[in-house]
Amino acid sequence: MKRILLFLATNLAIMLLLGIVLNLLGINSILDAQGSDLDLGKLLVLSAVVGFTGSLFSLAISKWSAKRMMGVRVISQPANATESWLVGAVQRQAQAAGIGMPEVGVFDSPEPNAFATGARRDAALVAVSTGLLQSMSQQEVEAVLAHEVSHVANGDMVTMTLIQGVVNTFVFFLSRVIGHFVDRVIFKTEEGHGPAFIITSIIAQLVLGLFAMMIVMWFSRQREFRADAGGATLAGRQAMIGALERLQQRHSGALPDKMAAFGIAGGPKPGGFKRLFMSHPPLEERIAVAHTVGREVAASMIAEGARELIEEARALAGQNGWKR
C-alpha cells in the first residue's frame, strides 16, 4: 500500500510539474496558427519536456523515494560490528573510486540484494538487504558493495536517466507525428485533431515504447558488465565471481522498477523475446565474462612482465657489451 501511495504521489507531482513548465513555455498546442499542420518546433519542445521531466524528477527524489519504498535504515551511527564494518568497507571503496562517501543503509528482506541510487556521485546511497548480509561472507559482501560503488562512480544513475529521457522524447514526438498523419491522410480531418489522432498516438506510443524499453535495457545490461568490472577492481576478481555465484545459487528478490537497474542481480536466464527486456545480463553470462576478463588481464600481465624482462636483458647486454 505504501509503495502504491508513493507511486501515485510521484506521478501527480510529475503531472503538476509538467503543467507548470508547459505554461511557462507557452505551449498549449502542437499545431500551427492555422490549426492544420504540425508545428514541429513546438512538438519537439513539448516532447523534450514530457520525455525528461519525469526522468529528471525521479532522479532528483531517488534517494528519498528509495528510503521510503524499501524501508532503508541509514547507518548514521553503527550499532554493531557488522554495521561498523559495512560503513568502513564502503568508505574505503569510495575513496579508491574517487567519489564522496555515500550514505550506507540496510533494508529488511530475506532475499540477498543491494542497490545504489542518487542524483550525484558525491551524495549517493548504497543499501544492502539483511538477507545479503546473512547469506554471504564478508569478502562476497564487499564485492557486492564494490559493484554498487562502481555504479555510483560510473555515473550510471545520471546516464540511464538521460538515455531514458532521450528515448521518451523520440517516442512522444514520433507517436504524435504518426497520429497526425493518420488523422489527416486517412480520416481526412482538415482542422484541429479528431479522435483518430488520439487513438493512433496512444497505439503508436505503446508500440514505440516497447522498442524504447529494449534500447534502455540494452544500455542497462552494458552498465552491469562495467559495474562488475569495477567491483572486481575494487574488491578482487575472485571475490566478485564468488558473489555472483552465490547470487546464482540463491535467486535474489526483485527490487522496484526504479531501483532494479542498479541492483546487484537479475533473475534466471530467460529465453527468446523476454531477454530483450532484462535490466541485468543473466548471472551465467556475468560470471563467464568475469572469468574471461580475468584470464585476459592475467595474460596481459604475463605478456607485460615478459616484455619488461626482455627490455632489462637487452639493457644489461648493452651495458656489458654483449652481442646478440
Residues annotated as part of the active site = 148
Name which residue leads in pLDDT, 83 or 25.
83
pLDDT of residue 22: 72
- 84 is written with which cell numbers? 561498523
Angle at 216 between CA 197 and CA 272, to 5 degrees: 95
Confidence of residue 18 (pLDDT cuts 50, 70, 90): confident
pLDDT single digits (tens) 171-226: 999 999 999 999 999 999 988 899 999 999 999 999 999 999 999 999 999 999 99
pLDDT of residue 301: 45
Confidence of residue 78 (pLDDT cuts 50, 70, 90): very high
Query: Which residues lie closer than 8 Å to 32 by C-beta, 6 or more apart?
Result: 38, 39
Average pLDDT, integer, range 39-54: 93
Query: What is the Cα 253 distance to its own chain's centre?
Result: 17
pLDDT of residue 68: 92
Residue 147 has pLDDT above 60, yes or no: yes
- Give the DSSP per-residue string, 54-79: HHHHHHHTHHHHHHHHHT-EE-SS--
pLDDT single digits (tens) 264-315: 666 556 666 788 899 999 999 999 999 886 555 444 544 565 566 567 656 6
Distance between CA atoms of residues 111 and 109, nearest Å: 5
Name which residue leads in pLDDT, 2 or 285.
285
Confidence of residue 65 (pLDDT cuts 50, 70, 90): very high
Task: Parse the chain into domains and list their residue ranges.
Answer: 156-286
Confidence of residue 261 (pLDDT cuts 50, 70, 90): low
H or E segment to which residue 114 belongs? strand 114-117
Interaxial angle between packed helices 2-25 and 62-70, expressed in degrees from 0 to 180 and rounded to the nearest 10 = 160
Q: Which residue has the cell 546487484?
A: 264
Distance between CA atoms of residues 264 and 117, nearest Å: 12
